[in-house]
Structure 1
Amino acid sequence: MPLTLPPGELEVLCLGAHPDDIEIGCGGTLLTLATARDVRATALVLTGAGERRDEALKATERFLPGAAVDVRVAGLRDGRLPAAWDDVKDTLEDAARTLRRPDVVFAPRRDDAHQDHRLIAELVPTVWRDALVLGYEIPKWDGDLGPVNHYVPLSAEVARRKVDLLDDSFPSQAGRDWWDEELFLGLLRLRGMECRSRYAEAFTVAKATLTF
């Protein structure tokens, strides 16, 4: 059954542990939103320095063309977020205090095998208690892809655009053995098959409110 976002301009919050998390996890959804709705978005990336920071500052805007986008990079240590629990919590709480209430929050899923992703996923519901939180998935060698319960169908054009933008936006990742269009399109195709679409991105939702 469809899950519908409220009418009017959407306030969107995207959270990532690392540069490229947001774009890998929900880049196709952002591209689709940008053409379907008026969007104001904030992207908060917890780690990133040097070239990676520069990539993060530019990437999300490319996935939300025409939208008002505020990108923030906290610059915490990659791979060490659990050891910086207080800093992560403070960063998220500061964002909640200074930003408008989001209509939807995109964040890692709570069973993600990467410790940085998982910490953010665990803290998000304690900071944004009344928001719809969609947990995105990131393919990795850990083999942690699991069941999902929400899908966003993507057109073939959007799926291809997502993959092209990933390559263009994150040249620092081009040499990694897992970073290729076959992986990204393959996952989009698999999730599309599950919801009777050619391509799709998939999410987990731990809690949602049904209103009439």
Structure 2
Amino acid sequence: MRPLALTGIRSLVALGAHPDDIEIAAGGLLLRVAAANPGLAVHYVLATGTPARQAEARAAAAAFLPGADLTFDLGTLPDGRLPAHWDTVKTQIERAAREATPDLVIAPWSGDAHQDHRTLGELAPTAFRDALVLNYEIPKWDGDLGRPSVYVPMPDDIARRKVALLHEHFPSQSSRDWWDDEVFLGLARIRGVECRSRYAEAFHSRKVTVSF
């Protein structure tokens, strides 16, 4: 498998429906991009969240993106109801596109079975037309994992650092029956098998251009 190098990332927009979505799905990518690009500008956008959950998200973003220049747009829409607030969500995403000129956007996948994730996944490419958009996956009860085509390998230390930070910064989720190391590392191990790595995160992408 021949890799395509993702270099020179100066600006990143991270879109999530809920606090913890971004870190569960792409925490390893965040850790690696921040380490490779000191001073990275990150615009972190969430559609839902209570004040307590927003505080978790802020602390997690700082931990997963050390040294990054972080700005936040944290919405308060009700969890599970984003399709009913389509206009508000679209306005928030378009505002992010105006305020940042990202090299990379990470967002949910439009094929995600959760209605909130799917709404963001469908709207992201309508606002970000000049950036690479990687659509992430989130393990869940619905069993909606697809066949992604973009892989970000994670060395063992990055994969375990990601899991440790999830536990540290999202204590509100620790009682959930799916919140454990086996879920996070299990999916990462499977995606690693698919790209000949120990661990990996995987993404979908609608369009990628190749430069020489």
TM-score scaled by structure 1? 0.96
Matches within 5 A, 1:94-105: 94-99=95-100, 101-105=101-105
Distance 1:25 1:49 in 2: 21
1:108 positional shift = 0.5
Aligned-partner SS, 2:192: helix
2:106 corresponds in structure 1 to: 106
Report the RMSD for the aligned CA atoms in angstroms: 1.1
Residue 17 (structure 1) aligns with: 17
Task: Please give the alpha-carbon distance, in whole angstroms, between the structure 1 residues aligned to 2:52 and 2:81.
Answer: 19
CA offsets per residue over residues 43-86 of structure 1, 9 Å max, x none? 10110013212111221111011111222211111110000011
In the alignment, is the contact (CA less than 8 A) between 1:6 and 1:103 conserved in 2?
Answer: no
Determine what percentage of the aligned residue pairs are the same residue.
Answer: 56
Off by >6 Å, runs of 4+ in structure 1:
none
Match of 1:44, SS state, is: strand
Distance apart, 1:6 and its partner CA: 4.4
Distance in 2 separating the partners of 1:10 and 1:151: 20
- CA deviations on 1:129-172 (whole Å, 9 max, x unpaired) are 12110011000000001101000010100000000000011000
Deviation, structure 1 residue 4: 2.7
Which deviates the most, 63-72 or 101-110?
Answer: 63-72
> Per the alignment, do residues 52 and 124 of structure 1 end up closer, same or farther by CA in structure 2, a change over 3 Å counting?
same
Structure 1 residue 114: deviation in Å?
Answer: 0.3
Task: Determine if contact 1:16/1:108 at 8 Å carries over to the other structure.
Answer: yes
Provide structure 1 residue ranges, at least 5 long, that are not aligned to the other structure: none
The answer to whether residue 127 in structure 2 is matched with residue 91 in structure 1 is no
Query: Is residue 65 from structure 1 mapped to residue 66 from structure 2 by the alignment?
Result: yes
Of residues 135-144 and 56-65 in structure 1, the stretch that sits farther from structure 2 once superposed is: 56-65
SS of aligned partner of 1:130:
coil
Q: Are the counterparts in 2 of residues 19 and 47 from structure 1 also a CA contact under 8 Å?
A: yes
The Cα shift of 1:2 comes to 2.2
- 5+ long unaligned stretches in structure 2: none
Superposed displacement of residue 193, structure 1: 0.9
3-state SS, counterpart of residue 89 of structure 1: helix
SS of 2:140 mapped into structure 1: coil
Q: Is it true that 1:165 corresponds to 2:165 in the alignment?
A: yes
Q: Is the 8 A contact 2:136 2:203 kept in 1?
A: yes
| Cα deviation digits, residues 86-123 of structure 1 (max 9, x gap) | 10011111111122x10000000110000000000000
The CA distance in 2 between the partners of 1:209 and 1:116, in whole Å, is: 28
Amino acid at match of 2:70: V
1:45 maps to 46
**One-letter amino acid of the counterpart of residue 155, structure 1:** P
| d(CA) in 2 for partners of 1:46, 1:3 | 31
Partner of 1:54: 55
Residue 125 of structure 1: aligned partner: 125
